[in-house]
Amino acid sequence: EVQLVQSGAEVKKPGESLKISCEGSGYSFTTYWIGWVRQMPGKGLEWMGTIYPGDSYTTYSPSFQGQVTISVDKSISTAYLQWSSLKASDTAIYYCARHGTHYYYMDVWGKGTTVTVSS
């Protein structure tokens, strides 16, 4: 079964750093792009960025460029999303999703990681 398993919920304080993960299984991890999508409380979906695990090529939404870092460790089939200094406005659910064979869409989604940033 193709699946993406995301790390558990996090509660952090403003200014702290954070790295959340997304482990792929059941398919060739290095040959499918992995994207990250934010959903703020009660809001819609926002594409943040996407990485190609085969060579770590990464593309970011202009809205998130410089705000987060996406990386991958293909030896353990895991993608990451990290922040160096969290803000309260980073409170959201973060989904990882596999881009399909034709990378135009996202065909497999993780269950999401809830990040709460509060003092």
> Which residue of 8, 41, 62, 66 would you call a contact of another protein, by CB under 8 A?
62
Question: For residue 20, what are its two tokens?
Answer: 């959340």
Residue 77 in contact with another protein, rule: CB under 8 A: no
Residue 44 in contact with another protein, rule: CB under 8 A: yes
Report the C-alpha gap between 93 and 90 in whole angstroms. Answer: 9
Strands of the chain (E only): list them. 3-6, 10-12, 18-25, 34-39, 45-52, 57-60, 69-73, 78-83, 92-99, 106-109, 113-117
Cβ nearer to another protein, comparing 20 with 37: 37
Smallest separation (angstroms) from another protein to the CB of 61: 7
Smallest separation (angstroms) from another protein to the CB of 85: 25
Residues at the contact surface with another protein, assessed by CB under 8 A: 35, 37, 44-47, 50, 59, 61-62, 95, 97, 100, 102-107, 109-112
